């Protein structure tokens, strides 16, 4: 198994110690559990980082938001340009109908006074309608102009963000690849360390890790527990130093081992 480089995780890289564990230099079951715990803590961090990187690989939240804004403004602008176009076409059609009706009125072909009156009324109604349609057209035009200005502003901002993002993306992709390798490596390493641990010890470990905030095994450091920092009674210290199996910290209930 090839050892990947250490990626400066907060927990510190546990890998050199595990090489020792893998070579069989660590035989104490509790120390093996402690090393397993280091792997698990690192593995959790790698997993969390991977999730974050994967989320970011498509763009930062602010970039995604900027893209959405541009798309929304474009859609709105498209809508108002359509409205303006419709209104213009409607006004043109009305103008044509007004002209046709006026031509008929002027042609002298219509003699009936009632019909003449009706045509005249129709021309007036169409003129009023055209005014309202032209109003709509002007409103749509103004709205579209306002949106076009906003879109340009948003697009320029987005372009700057995209450029900035491109320079970061390469680094993110690179780290993502490394983290994936590290994830797989830790998974394999874990399986090998687990293979050297007795089943009942492993069960204790999993049980405690779930209930003790991810820390199942603590070290004895100057007669104190490294997890809860409480002083451990002399009798317990002696038992731990003798390497007795399953000696617990009386304060926090974690397994103790003496390095
Ligand atoms: Zn403790």
Q: What pLDDT was estimated at residue 231? A: 95
ipTM above 0.90, yes or no: yes
Which regions of the chain does DSSP assign to beta strands (E)? 217-221, 224-225, 255-257
Distance separating alpha carbons of residues 29 and 35, to the nearest angstrom = 10
Distance separating alpha carbons of residues 128 and 52, to the nearest angstrom = 61
Distance 212 CA to ligand 1 centre (A): 10
* Six token digits for residue 153: 């502003």
* Six token digits for residue 2: 């090839």
**At 20, is the pLDDT very low, low, confident or very high (cuts 50, 70, 90)?**
low
Q: Which helix (H) or strand (E) holds 22?
A: helix 15-22
Sheet harboring 224-225: ordered strands across? 224-225, 217-221, 255-257
- pLDDT per residue as tens digits for the range 145-197: 999 999 999 999 999 999 988 888 888 888 888 888 888 888 888 888 898 89
How many residues would you count in the chain? 259
* Six token digits for residue 33: 């559990």
Distance 258 CA to ligand 1 centre (A): 13
Distance 249 CA to ligand 1 centre (A): 5
Q: What pLDDT was estimated at residue 4? A: 45
Q: What pLDDT was estimated at residue 16? A: 54
How many CB atoms lie under 10 A from the CB of residue 167?
A: 8
Rounded mean pLDDT, 107-129? 92
- Output the average pLDDT for the chain: 87
> Helix (H) and strand (E) counts for the chain?
6, 3
Q: Which residue has the tokens 């002298």?
A: 108
Residue 220: strand, helix, or coil: strand
**At 89, is the pLDDT very low, low, confident or very high (cuts 50, 70, 90)?**
very high
Distance 21 CA to ligand 1 centre (A): 24
Distance separating alpha carbons of residues 249 and 228, to the nearest angstrom = 9
- Where along the chain do its domains lie? 61-186, 198-257
Distance 204 CA to ligand 1 centre (A): 16
Distance 46 CA to ligand 1 centre (A): 26
Cβ neighbours for 92, distance < 8 A, ≥ 6 positions apart = none
Taking phi first (over 0 means left), then psi (-120 to 50 degrees means alpha), and beta for anything else, what does residue 232 get? Answer: beta
Distance 229 CA to ligand 1 centre (A): 6
Which CATH architecture group holds 61-186?
Orthogonal Bundle (1.10)
The strand pair at 217-221 and 224-225 is best described as: antiparallel
Distance 219 CA to ligand 1 centre (A): 9
* Six token digits for residue 243: 């390497």
């Amino acid at each position: 198994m090839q050892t990947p480089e250490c990626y400066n995780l907060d927990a510190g890289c546990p890998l050199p110690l595990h090489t020792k564990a893998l070579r069989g230099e660590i035989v104490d079951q509790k120390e093996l559990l402690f090393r397993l715990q280091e792997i698990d803590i690192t593995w959790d961090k790698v997993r969390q980082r991977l999730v974050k990187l994967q989320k970011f690989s498509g763009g930062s939240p602010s970039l995604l938001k900027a893209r959405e804004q541009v798309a929304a403004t474009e859609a709105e602008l498209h809508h108002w340009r359509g409205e303006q176009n419709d209104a213009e076409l409607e006004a043109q059609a009305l103008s044509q109908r007004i002209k046709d009706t006026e031509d008929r009125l002027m042609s002298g072909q219509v003699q009936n006074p009632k019909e003449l009156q009706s045509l005249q009324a129709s021309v007036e109604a169409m003129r009023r309608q055209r005014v309202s349609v032209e109003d709509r057209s002007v409103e749509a035009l103004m709205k579209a102009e306002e949106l076009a200005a906003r879109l340009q502003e948003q697009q320029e901002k987005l372009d700057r963000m995209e450029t900035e993002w491109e320079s970061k993306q390469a680094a993110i992709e690179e780290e993502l690849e490394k983290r994936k390798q590290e994830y797989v490596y830790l998974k394999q390493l874990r399986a090998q360390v687990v293979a050297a641990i007795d089943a009942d010890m492993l069960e204790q470990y999993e049980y405690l890790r779930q209930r003790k905030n991810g820390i199942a095994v603590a070290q004895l450091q100057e007669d104190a527990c490294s997890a809860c920092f409480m002083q451990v009674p002399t009798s317990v210290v002696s038992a731990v130093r003798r390497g007795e199996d399953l000696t617990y910290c009386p304060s926090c209930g974690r397994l103790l081992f003496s390095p």
